[in-house]
Amino acid sequence: MTKPDDTESVSDEFSNDDYDSPWKEAVEHYFPELMAFYFPMAYAEIDWSKEHVFLDQELRAIVQDAELGKRYVDKLVRVLLLTGDERWIYIHIEVQGSQQAEFAKRMFVYNYRIYDRFDRPVASMAVLADENKHWKPTSFGFDVLGCQHSLTFPVAKLTDYSDRVDELLSIDNAFALITAAHILTQQTRKKSQARYEAKLRLVRLLYERQWDKQRIIDLFEVVDWLMKLPKWLETKIFQEIESIERREDMRYINSVQRMYMEKFRAEGMELGIEQGVEIGLVKGVVTGEVKLLKKLLEKRFGALPSWAITKLESAAEEELETWGEAILTADTLNTVFGSDTTH
């Protein structure tokens, strides 16, 4: 199998990076950390011992006829403050991915609509994830005939961190790492080797932090979603993960493995065997992926004899992993299963 030259740019398939979905997941999973990182003064006033509640359906109903441009994420969150007042207040948080003339107006409109709906204070905040360092809207309003009406809102600008990636990666906060991943994604657009190295750095850091299993998996998913790579480099990333987990005696790989399989299963079988193996077969195949390995073998060698099917269905995880590697280079079915195979 021939791999691209290290200097090759990420193909068109990967040039339109998807920032939307990973940001949505991250905001929901790590909202307190978002507030602590981007808006520490507001964070300090919120009673985090009480539950915070996302109001997605309510927000959609409030703003459904006020669509003023595309944004990554819109969230309405109900929180309690440390003041002792047991009544809720509302935070409208927006992640904006591109410069937009009507952005400040949208913040203004959503703020007063939310206030009108709940009759409670509303704090509007924005994370600006675009690449224009000079665009930083913070207010909107009007002054007419003695009537003044305005909204001023705090803003976190990701380009302010562009030269601080090392500092970000030293901070024990999910959004410090996510911000670094977002910046590195922008900086490595159409630079596959540079992005591979940046992504590998983040993956290694996840394990070095000794975070709990679910946190590592969740943040890996955000990084993986942001930092798209050609499939051959995705496979190299996974090989590095496997090496790290063996060295550190961790067993997170099965969870990451299932995520990769779900991601690549549909497209892998539709391509030629060489690409199909790269996409559909990530190393470390677990027991639940016997069916996929069987399909790959059939695509490579034709209908499988009964002895091969029996071996697949009764295989241990380690055997599946070995066969999964062998399929990439084996000339015959016997070679995949080992030269001492008897049947």
* Contact (Cβ atoms closer than 8 angstroms) between residue 128 and residue 183: no
d(C-alpha 174, C-alpha 105), whole Å: 30
Looking at the fold, whether 274 and 156 belong to one and the same domain comes out as no
pLDDT value of residue 182: 92
Q: Is residue 75 one of the residues assigned to a domain? A: yes
pLDDT value of residue 226: 86
pLDDT value of residue 65: 61
Q: Is residue 78 one of the residues assigned to a domain? A: yes
Looking at the fold, whether 268 and 146 belong to one and the same domain comes out as no
Looking at the fold, whether 268 and 133 belong to one and the same domain comes out as no
Q: Is residue 172 one of the residues assigned to a domain? A: no
Provide the 8-state DSSP code for 332.
Answer: S
Q: Is residue 285 one of the residues assigned to a domain? A: yes
* Contact (Cβ atoms closer than 8 angstroms) between residue 125 and residue 40: no
Q: Which of 161, 190, 211 is the last residue of a domain?
A: 161
* Contact (Cβ atoms closer than 8 angstroms) between residue 19 and residue 26: no
Q: Is residue 248 one of the residues assigned to a domain? A: no
Q: In this structure, what token pair is assigned to residue 290?
A: 């016997």
d(C-alpha 275, C-alpha 281), whole Å: 10
Q: Is residue 173 one of the residues assigned to a domain? A: no
Q: Total structural domains in the chain?
A: 2
Looking at the fold, whether 22 and 147 belong to one and the same domain comes out as yes
- Residue-level pLDDT, tens digit, the chain, 343 residues: 444 444 444 333 334 444 556 788 789 889 999 999 999 999 999 999 999 999 988 998 887 765 555 556 789 999 999 998 888 999 999 999 888 888 999 999 999 999 999 999 999 999 999 889 999 999 999 999 999 999 999 999 999 999 999 999 999 999 999 999 999 999 998 888 999 999 999 999 988 887 888 888 889 888 888 888 887 788 788 888 878 877 877 766 554 555 555 555 444 444 444 444 444 444 333 444 576 677 778 767 777 888 888 888 887 767 776 787 677 667 788 888 875 555 5
Q: Is residue 66 one of the residues assigned to a domain? A: yes
Burial of 66 (0-12, 13-18, 19+ CB in 10 A): exposed
Can you list the alpha helix ranges (DSSP code H) found in 16-164?
Answer: 20-29, 31-38, 40-43, 56-63, 103-118
Looking at the fold, whether 22 and 157 belong to one and the same domain comes out as yes
pLDDT value of residue 293: 75
Q: How far is CA 233 from the centre of its chain?
A: 17
Q: Which of 161, 183, 206 is the last residue of a domain?
A: 161
Q: Which of 115, 140, 161 is the last residue of a domain?
A: 161
Which range marks the domain in which residue 289 is found? 264-343
Of 57, 88, 74, give the one whose Cα is nearest residue 126.
74
d(C-alpha 23, C-alpha 71), whole Å: 11
Q: Is residue 303 one of the residues assigned to a domain? A: yes
Burial of 296 (0-12, 13-18, 19+ CB in 10 A): buried
d(C-alpha 178, C-alpha 218), whole Å: 11
pLDDT value of residue 49: 94
pLDDT in tens, 94-145: 999 888 888 999 999 999 999 999 999 999 999 999 889 999 999 999 999 9
What global pTM score does this model have? 0.68
d(C-alpha 192, C-alpha 199), whole Å: 10
